[in-house]
């Protein structure tokens, strides 16, 4: 029972963080419309981060890209002269630890990242690498069946689901 109580508290905290994140993004966007700097400045400050040019550039790239990207691609997109690769890795790690970015494993030997805005999964073409978001997530039944079939686990805290296949262009 103690574990369930901790899990409920963690769920409450996660929901509060999502709410703060969503409100912070709306507030930052409104400030941008009113001429108040980058839309991410208030967002970073509200999340407790120092506003740096590298963090602003990274978040700007993520906002424009709309799909998971690697740190190497991020580094090239923000410009190698703005920051060295180690700085980009540290900034991405900080933003991931803070819940602003989500790590996505799409079958490569390196991780990809995206803004942690909404819960979704991906379907990835194994031939050309095309990635598409899959917004539906009906995982509760799978979780229940998994817990019934296991002897060592009593609860599921999180999940990651990426689907692999071939896109319509590659099949044709």
Which sequence spans correspond to the domains of the chain? 119-172
Nearest residue to 156 via CA among 171, 172, 137, 170: 137
Say how far apart CA 28 and CA 172 lie, in whole Å: 44
Over residues 73-110, the pLDDT tens digits come to 898 888 877 888 898 999 999 888 888 888 888 877 78
Mean per-residue pLDDT for 37-43? 73
> Averaged over 50-57, what is the pLDDT?
87
* pTM for this entry: 0.64
12: pLDDT strictly greater than 60: no
pLDDT confidence tier of residue 152, bands split at 50, 70 and 90: very high
Class assignment of domain 119-172?
A: alpha beta
For CA atoms 86, 68, 42, 47, the dihedral sign is negative
pLDDT value at residue 8: 59
């Amino acid at each position: 029972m103690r574990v369930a109580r901790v899990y409920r508290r963690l769920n409450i905290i996660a929901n509060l963080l999502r709410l703060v994140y969503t409100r912070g993004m709306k507030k930052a966007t409104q400030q941008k419309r009113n001429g108040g700097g980058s839309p991410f400045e208030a967002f970073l400050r509200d999340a407790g981060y120092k506003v740096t040019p590298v963090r602003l550039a990274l978040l700007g790239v993520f906002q424009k890209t709309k799909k998971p990207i690697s740190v190497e691609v991020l580094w090239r997109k923000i410009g190698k002269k703005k920051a060295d690769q180690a700085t980009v890795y540290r900034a991405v790690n900080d933003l991931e630890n803070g819940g602003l970015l989500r790590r996505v494993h799409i079958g490569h030997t390196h991780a990809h990242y995206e803004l942690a805005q909404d819960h979704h999964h991906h379907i990835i073409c194994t031939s050309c690498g095309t990635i598409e978001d899959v917004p539906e997530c009906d995982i509760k039944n799978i979780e229940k069946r998994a817990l019934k079939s296991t002897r060592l686990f009593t609860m599921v805290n999180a999940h990651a689901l990426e689907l692999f296949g071939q896109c319509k262009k590659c099949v044709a």
